[in-house]
Amino acid sequence: MRLFFFALLLSVPAWAGEAVDVEEHLGQQLPLDAEFTDQAGRHLRLGDAVLGNTPTILVMSYYECPMLCSLVLQGLADATEQMDWKLGERYRMLTISFDPKDGAHNADLKRNSVLERLHRSDASWPFLVGKEPSIKALTDALGFRYSYDEAAKQYAHPAVVFVITPDGHISRYLYGVQYPLRDLKLALIEAGQGRTGGAFERIILTCFRYNPATRRYGPYVFGFLRAGSLLVATALGISILRLRRREREKGAS
């Protein structure tokens, strides 16, 4: 574990300063008309990739990144592999390069390496590239701040992924390179506006609340009380129905 964090520290160049940061814009509408190109060379608008019936996990990356981007993508691939929800049906994944020099070929190579980890070459996980105006419009909306060093030929950037609602608004920021399955699911349920997750999972969401200080979902005592009250009321309702049924059966006999 110590070696992991030491490697992560080394991945942030010494020249990275205040320009590398995240300014959270919760509720911000993404620039849905921004134009990008996918790994197959097809042109599309951002809205084509994020609008629909399910939330989207968005990763800002660059495909020649020597370490940090790969750690973020591997962390998401690991979490996705553990999830019992089918990718492309109950949630979507989307990776976009913030390096305007990246082309569709770079996107295709990076996508193949990530999907190989999932053992799913057909997974619905597009990797996009774009030109500077589209990239800037998107990163400004996200509050994603990064910096390029000409001498080192690499970017410094934060480790963060974005959970996007089905109508293209920013719902949640998740930080780091490892994503606990509970946090990922709760963020998707929250962003899905009731359309992602089963009834039980939506009840569980009321028992956990996102803590900005820890940047994690934690137990919420009033949520547990509400959920407990709901279970008690349900059990009481079932008991009353059973009693009434028995009374009717006795009356009929």
Per residue in 188-214, pLDDT (tens digit) is 988 887 443 344 344 444 444 445 656
pLDDT of residue 37: 98
CATH of residue 129's domain is: 3.40.30.10
CA 218 centroid distance within chain? 18
Q: Is 67 exposed, middle or buried (0-12, 13-18, 19+ CB in 10 A)?
A: middle
Side-chain half-sphere CA neighbours of 25 within 13 A: 17
251: Cβ contacts below 8 Å, ≥ 6 apart: none
- Give the residue from 126, 77, 72, 127 showing the smallest Cα distance to 102: 127
**Within a domain: residue 225?**
no
**Is residue 224 domain-resident?**
no
Q: Any idea which residue has 């981007």 for tokens? A: 69
Q: By residue range, what is the domain housing residue 166?
A: 2-196
- pLDDT at position 20 is 87
Q: How far apart are CA 165 and CA 46, in angstroms?
A: 13
User: Which parts of the chain register pLDDT below 70?
Assistant: 1-18, 194-253
41-54: per-residue pLDDT in tens?
A: 999 999 999 999 99
- 156: which strand partners? 147
Structure tokens at 73: 């993508």
Residue with tokens 């193949």: 112
Cβ–Cβ under 8 Å, residues 71 and 159: yes
Is residue 99, in this structure, part of any structural domain at all? yes
Tokens (6 digits) for 197? 């997750």
Domain-located, residue 147: yes
pLDDT at 204: 43
**174 inside domain:** yes
Residues 253, 241: Cα–Cα separation, whole Å: 19
Q: Which residues contact 130 (CB under 8 A, 6 or more apart)?
A: 34, 35, 36, 37, 96, 97, 100, 138
Q: How many domains does the chain have?
A: 1
Please give the pLDDT value at position 125: 94
Residue 93 domain-assigned (yes or no): yes
- In whole angstroms, give the CA distance from residue 186 to residue 231: 20
166 within 8 A of 54, measured Cβ to Cβ? yes
Question: What are 129's two structure tokens?
Answer: 């590239």
Tell me if 211 sits within 8 A of 186, measured CB to CB. Answer: no
The reply to whether 251 falls in a domain is no
User: Is 33 a domain residue?
Assistant: yes
